[in-house]
């Protein structure tokens, strides 16, 4: 059996969310599912399999290693390596049919050399930095870059992309509009230099629902695939009917009566203000249950909310179950997900921890087993 702490991944919910996105963008727009970072903690291989069966067009990973994992698991659809590749990984990208994002001429040169040796043409997507400031060819350097890229005969620029910095913020629509205009100009420059990219894409989850597409013919949803809405989409967008995919559970390993005035946990940060019933859970911050939830988080036991008390430690967490009728040893505890009429979302946990929903599910560590189910 082992420790009773686990995450459940609802693959039916994932498939449902994909269908919602597909219906929203229409059949003429390709959907690239972001399954990087182990599908935001949900399990890249299992999520990719269900998405492939649903007809997803592309997969987005961060690293070639993530793409290779999908290939070795039998995933056959197109895979884009959003972070590009590192020197020495060119042959692996070709061997496993991974399409890298490129943003430096020396990257294209090394891939062109490897492709020439393998007697193939390598497809790439060129990233344009229109205002995020991370990766990409600066928008004001696109003309020189496009002219220089014409020399590489074993490279096919099959896509052009950018990433939007603030599409989730309705107060920054002007900035997002500037980004999209810079991107459209960059696309035009590449076409004027005799490139004919098949795929033009800028939209993350927020832009997929909040912005119309002009020349763009592909979207790259991430958080919305996994059911995140409140901290992903701008407030002026109607919330789509998405369903959370991950739930997180544990069980009570110890129940103890604690008198009023007793301090609990590291640092003595919590003191009981009444005679209390305190439960210990076998989950902590090494599992990804954030230390920031100390004295701030809450869980559900027997359909009732119970607060986290004291500091969340590496392997254990305390909760106050004084107000939970009939609570017993081994009772199931919901830390993320629904129980009866109550629910705790990744967005709620993120708000309590001072972060975003993405980090909550990405942070659930590998020592928490994932159980895949179709509800």
Give every CB contact of residue 117 below 8 A, 6+ residues apart in sequence.
none
Give every CB contact of residue 239 below 8 A, 6+ residues apart in sequence.
229, 230, 233
Query: Which residue matches tokens 């696309």?
Result: 187
Helices (H) and strands (E) in the chain, counts: 11, 21
| Catalytic residue numbers, as ranges | 36, 266
d(CA 48, CA 337): 22
d(CA 206, CA 179): 14
d(CA 310, CA 368): 22
d(CA 109, CA 95): 18
Per-residue tokens: 262: 């007793």
DSSP label of 232: T
CA angle centred on 223, ends 301 and 228, rounded to 5°: 35
């Amino acid at each position: 059996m082992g420790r009773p702490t686990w995450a459940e991944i609802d693959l039916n919910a994932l498939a449902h969310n994909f269908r919602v996105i597909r219906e929203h963008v229409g059949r003429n727009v390709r959907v690239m599912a972001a399954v990087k970072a182990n599908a935001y903690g949900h399990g890249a291989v299992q999520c990719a399999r269900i998405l492939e069966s649903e007809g997803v067009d592309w997969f987005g990973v961060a690293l070639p290693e993530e793409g290779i994992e999908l290939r070795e698991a039998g995933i056959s659809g197109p895979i884009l390596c959003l972070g590009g590749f590192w020197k020495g990984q060119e042959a692996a990208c070709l061997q496993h049919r991974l399409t890298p994002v490129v943003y430096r001429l020396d990257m294209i040169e090394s891939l062109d050399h490897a492709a020439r040796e393998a007697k193939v043409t390598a497809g790439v997507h060129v990233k344009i930095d229109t205002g995020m400031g991370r990766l990409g060819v600066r928008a004001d350097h696109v003309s020189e870059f496009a002219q220089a890229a014409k020399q590489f005969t074993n490279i096919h620029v099959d896509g052009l992309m950018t990433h939007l910095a603030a599409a989730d913020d309705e107060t920054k629509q002007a900035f997002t509009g500037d980004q999209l205009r810079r991107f459209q100009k960059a696309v035009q420059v590449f076409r004027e230099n005799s490139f004919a990219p098949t795929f033009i894409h800028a939209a993350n989850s927020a832009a997929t629902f909040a912005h119309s597409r002009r020349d763009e013919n592909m979207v790259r949803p991430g958080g919305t695939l996994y059911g995140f809405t409140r901290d992903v989409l701008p407030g002026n967008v109607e919330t789509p009917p998405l369903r959370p995919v991950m739930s997180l559970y544990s069980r009570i390993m110890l129940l103890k009566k604690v008198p009023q005035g007793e301090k609990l946990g590291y640092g003595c940060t919590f003191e009981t203000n009444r005679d209390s019933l305190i439960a210990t859970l076998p989950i902590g911050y090494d599992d990804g249950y954030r230390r920031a939830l100390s004295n701030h988080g809450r869980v559900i036991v027997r359909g009732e909310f119970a607060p986290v008390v004291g500091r969340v430690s590496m392997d254990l967490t305390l909760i106050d179950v004084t107000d939970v009728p009939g609570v017993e040893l081994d009772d199931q505890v919901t830390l993320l997900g629904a129980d009866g009429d109550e629910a705790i979302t990744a967005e709620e946990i993120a708000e309590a921890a001072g972060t975003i929903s993405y980090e909550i599910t990405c942070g659930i560590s590998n020592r928490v087993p994932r159980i895949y189910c179709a509800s």
